[in-house]
Amino acid sequence: MLQTKAVRIEQDLLGEKEIPYDAYYGIQTMRAAENFPMFPWHFPRGVGLPRHRN
């Protein structure tokens, strides 16, 4: 059986775009990710953790 991915359609001045239904971001973030693919979508684990020094 073919499974379809749940998406929502968002619209801005540049047109419409499909965004994953469960995503917390919108069309502007999706367009930025397409224009600047060098940034990873995941957040590095070590960022924001306190450093322990002996």
Return phi, psi of residue 23, to 5°.
-75, 145
Mean pLDDT score of the chain, rounded to an integer? Answer: 81
For residue 24, being part of any structural domain is answered with yes
- 1 pLDDT higher than 70: no
Q: Is the dihedral of CA 9, 17, 32, 41 positive or negative?
A: positive
- Confidence at residue 10, expressed as pLDDT on a 0 to 100 scale: 96
For residue 51, being part of any structural domain is answered with no
For residue 53, being part of any structural domain is answered with no
Supply the range of the domain harboring residue 16: 1-36
Structural tokens at position 21: 């239904």
Contact 23, 10 (CB under 8 A): no
- Confidence at residue 46, expressed as pLDDT on a 0 to 100 scale: 63
Number of domains present in the structure of the chain:
1
Mean pLDDT of all residues in 48-53: 69
- Confidence at residue 40, expressed as pLDDT on a 0 to 100 scale: 60
Structural tokens at position 42: 């995941």
